[in-house]
Amino acid sequence: MWALAVAFAIALAATPLVAAGARVAGLVDRPGALKVHDRPIPLLGGLAVIAAWVVGATVVGPTPEGSVLLAVALVFSVGFLDDVRTVPPAARLIVQFFAGAALVWGGARFKAVSPFASLMPVVAVLVATNGVNLVDGLDGLAAGCAALTAAGLAVIASGVGSAEAASATLALAGALVGFLVWNRRPARVFLGDAGAYAIGVTLVALAAAGTREAGIRDVAAAAMCFGVFIVEPVDSVRRRLRTSSAMTAGDRDHVYDRLISRGLTVNQTVSLVWATQAWLVVTAILLARVPAALPAAAVVPLGLLIPAIRHRLAAAALRGRPVAR
């Protein structure tokens, strides 16, 4: 837990400093177009998260491997360029591909899915980097979901005896919660594309490290911990195929946007998505740690409550009744 505490403290202290520097440098996300905020918000919050993670992980274990740091640096760089000036989507995908290849070069494998053990980290990086970026559309949404993912991955890694991976993953969870203090609504700093991409790669690297020698059940549980970071890209692709829209075109029709359009407030939407992510993470932990028949019996009823709560909130809002925030 020391790694979590140290990373939390560093992120809590460093995030406002990074935000102040970004504001002075003019690195802000300005309102307009598809933006939902009404004032310029500093970017580069992801820099504080990654720095806090590295220090927190190093306090109780070895420094993250060079291949992981290389992969993070690659996606952070292309994300930073995209924050400053638009980078073509194809160029971003190529860099993300090479980041995944860097993880494989450094030994990241999901041996349980052989013969695809070397391919899966690359695919996972492409999905996770874009998944975190797509979910990062409301204050606190992506950071909170990523913290839940990291917590679940840490429990799974601990269960298979990967103590170092578990500690490093807890450090990332702590860094994300420290950042979330400043990123919650109303946000005073954003992750930016750079931070979203870097967190996606880091989560994949930690998932691979924590399940390197694990069986298929633990690997499946780790994948389930990514939850909304898988659902959102899949939904975006499905939506664009259905409407014959360009895959790279931006819109405000994400899952969380549709919840707001049905009458939920931003705070209710963020809470509901966090609850869904937490449900998926708890289910994943049960899948990894208890007999296979029990997770469904214990958790599926809880999952069925989530759409019921969503419909109740939306119906109440549409009827004009006050809904507790």
pLDDT for res 288: 83
pLDDT for res 250: 65
For 75, the domain range is: 2-230
Report whether 313 contacts 273 (CB < 8 A): no
Residue 251 resides in a domain: no
Residue 191 resides in a domain: yes
- Residue pLDDT, tens place only, 245-254: 766 666 677 8
pLDDT for res 271: 93
Report the amino acid identity of residue 171.
A
pLDDT for res 324: 42
Residue 316 resides in a domain: no
Classify each residue of 30-64 as buried b or exposed e, where b means 16 or more C-beta atoms within 10 Å of its C-beta. Answer: eeeeeeebeeebbbbbbbbbbbbbbbbbbebbeeb
Total number of residues shown for the chain: 325
Residue 72 resides in a domain: yes
Tell me phi and psi for residue 238, to 5 degrees.
-60, -45
Rg of the chain on CA atoms, in Å: 19
Q: Residue 104, Cα to own-chain centre: how many angstroms?
A: 21
Residue 22 resides in a domain: yes
pLDDT for res 325: 38
Report the amino acid identity of residue 10.
I
Residue 211 resides in a domain: yes
Report whether 156 contacts 221 (CB < 8 A): yes
Residues of the chain with pLDDT under 50: 293, 295, 297-298, 301, 304-305, 320-325
Question: Using CA atoms, how far apart are residues 151 and 157, in angstroms rounded to an integer?
Answer: 10
- Looking at the structure of the chain, the number of domains it has is 1
Beta-carbon contacts of 163 under 8 Å, excluding residues fewer than 6 positions away, are: 157
Residue 58 resides in a domain: yes
Pick from 241, 269, 268: which is nearest to 255 by CA? 269
Residue 287 resides in a domain: no
pLDDT for res 293: 45
Question: Using CA atoms, how far apart are residues 81 and 193, in angstroms rounded to an integer?
Answer: 9
pLDDT for res 323: 41
List, in sequence order, every beta strand (DSSP E) within 124-229.
Answer: none
